[in-house]
Amino acid sequence: MTTLANYLDNHATTPALNDVITTVTNVGKTISQLLRKGALADILGEAGNQNIQGEDQKKLDVLANDLLLDALAKNTHCAGVASEELDNATPANADGSLLVLFDPLDGSSNIDINMAVGTIFSVLPYQRQGQTSENSDFLQAGNQQLAAGYLLYSTSTVLALTITDHVVMFSLDPDTGDYVLIEDNVQIDADTSEYAINASNYRYWRAPMQQYIDELIAGEAGVRGRDFNTRWVAAMVGDVHRILCRGGLFTYPFDTKYAHKAGKLRLMYEANPMSLLIERAGGGATDAVNRILDIDPTDIHQRVPVVLGSKNEVDYVKDLHVNYTDK
């Protein structure tokens, strides 16, 4: 049996990275325990305020955020933290060499209905050791990430992690509190017949995305020549986990539903960490055309359209967009 501690000792590039990942995943154990208690832990329902995204915060959004913030503030390797739930980055230890970004609770709309939720995290290098970190220190492309991962709180609690050139998965043993290695090199099939999208936004998508989905719905009788199936967890962590387990395509495309939200998902703490995991598992991740990991961020809360998963399907979407001509 290989635990997370064993794996990090044998793989982490630096003790600092090892230590920060241990801090984040230890908080994951606390969040997992709270979710197991559910309504009995007084963690359901609204927190009664909105975050910078203009979204109503759930109690667990705030609690998960505060647990991660408190733990990382005490970690000497962490120079600063950026969170979906905080307007600005929070400085931590100026001598730290790492920056941590997270979506503390992904899939918040699932909390009160006892469905899957998760925590997504990303680690970037801190380039100004000795100085107080600021928002601008976090504005690094996703290809600079030193580590990325998620915790999926579902029928069991699973940790997916990449710190080198591959993706590993651990399952949290509730009896021992250990994360136990269950997959040592996750690989995604290049082709798939399963896709995830919130189809209610169809009228807001650009024409190429409408055509792409029309083709999938046409199935065997259409140009794709085979039937497709859909899944939608309403928690990116759940959809990405399914794709890492059995392939698939996930997309939250550009839409005109809300002028200030190009595509709903946030680049720094949803799209970038998930894209690193997907690419290292052999998949693709674009904004429909451009590689997400190459996007140079301009704001810690910027949003980006997302198309990720089985490589050949992601490439098909890109080709369709690049070669699209109005009929």
Chain residues in the site for Mn ion (CB under 5 A): 84, 103, 105-106
Residue type, 266: R
Residues sharing a CB contact under 8 Å with residue 296, sequence separation 6 or more, in sequence order: 139, 141
198 binds, among Mn ion, ligand AHG, none (CB under 5 to 8 A by kind): ligand AHG
* Residue nearest to Mn ion as judged by C-beta position: 106
Give Dmax (Cα) for the chain: 63
Minimum gap (Å) between residue 57 Cβ and ligand AHG: 10
The size of the chain, in residues, is 327
Minimum gap (Å) between residue 35 Cβ and ligand AHG: 14
Strand partners, 229: 194
Does 255 bind ligand AHG (CB under 6 A)? Our answer is: no
Residue 133 exposed, middle or buried by CB count within 10 Å (0-12, 13-18, 19+): buried
Is 195 in contact with 250 (CB distance < 8 Å)?
yes
264 binds, among ligand AHG, Mn ion, none (CB under 5 to 8 A by kind): ligand AHG
How far is the C-alpha of 233 from the C-alpha of 210, rounded, in Å? Answer: 21
Minimum gap (Å) between residue 84 Cβ and Mn ion: 5
Minimum gap (Å) between residue 269 Cβ and Mn ion: 8
Identify the DSSP state of 74. T
How far is the C-alpha of 217 from the C-alpha of 229, rounded, in Å? Answer: 9
The contact mask relative to ligand AHG for 59-98 (x = CB under 6 A, - = no) is -------------------------x--------------
Cα pseudo-dihedral 10, 15, 18, 23, rounded to 10: 150
Binding span for ligand AHG by CB under 6 A among 9-17, 40-48, 106-114, 276-284: 106-114
Does 236 bind ligand AHG (CB under 6 A)? Our answer is: yes
> Within positions 260 to 279, which residues make up the interface with ligand AHG, using CB under 6 A?
264
Minimum gap (Å) between residue 108 Cβ and ligand AHG: 4
Could you list the residues that contact ligand AHG (CB under 6 A)?
Answer: 84, 103, 106-109, 198, 234-236, 252, 264
